[in-house]
Amino acid sequence: MRPLLAARGCTIATGVRLRSLAEVIDHLGASGQTGIIDGTEIRVRRPAAGRKDREKFISGKNKQNAVKAMVLTDAGGKLLFCSPAQPASCADITHARQLGLVKHLIGGPAVEILADAGYQGLGAQTGGRVVTPPHRKFKKNPPDWYEEIYERQRKAHSSRRIRVEHGIAHLKNWRALARHLGRREQMSDTIQAIAGLLSHQQTATRGARQPR
pLDDT per residue as tens, the chain (212 positions) = 888 999 999 999 888 899 999 999 999 999 999 999 999 998 888 877 777 777 888 887 778 888 999 999 999 999 999 999 999 899 999 999 999 999 999 988 999 999 999 999 999 999 999 999 988 877 778 888 888 888 899 999 999 999 999 999 999 898 888 776 777 888 899 999 999 999 999 888 765 555 54
Query: Residue 212 falls within a domain, yes or no?
Result: no
Query: Residue 211 falls within a domain, yes or no?
Result: no
The whole-model pTM stands at 0.87
Query: Residue 72 falls within a domain, yes or no?
Result: yes
Q: 180 and 42 in contact (C-beta within 8 Å)?
A: yes
Query: Residue 152 falls within a domain, yes or no?
Result: yes
pLDDT number for residue 212: 47
Query: Residue 110 falls within a domain, yes or no?
Result: yes
Query: Residue 39 falls within a domain, yes or no?
Result: yes
35-43 vs 66-74, strand pairing mode: antiparallel
Query: Residue 121 falls within a domain, yes or no?
Result: yes
pLDDT number for residue 29: 94
Number of domains in the chain: 1
Query: Residue 151 falls within a domain, yes or no?
Result: yes
CA distance 151 to 22: 34
pLDDT number for residue 104: 95
CA distance 80 to 138: 37
> What are the residues whose beta carbons fall under 8 Å from the beta carbon of 8, sequence distance 6 or more?
17, 19, 193, 196
Q: Which domain holds residue 14?
A: 2-205
Length, in residues, of the chain: 212
Cβ burial 107-133 (10 Å sphere, 16+ → b, else e): ebeebbbbbbebbbebeebbeebbbbb
pLDDT number for residue 54: 79
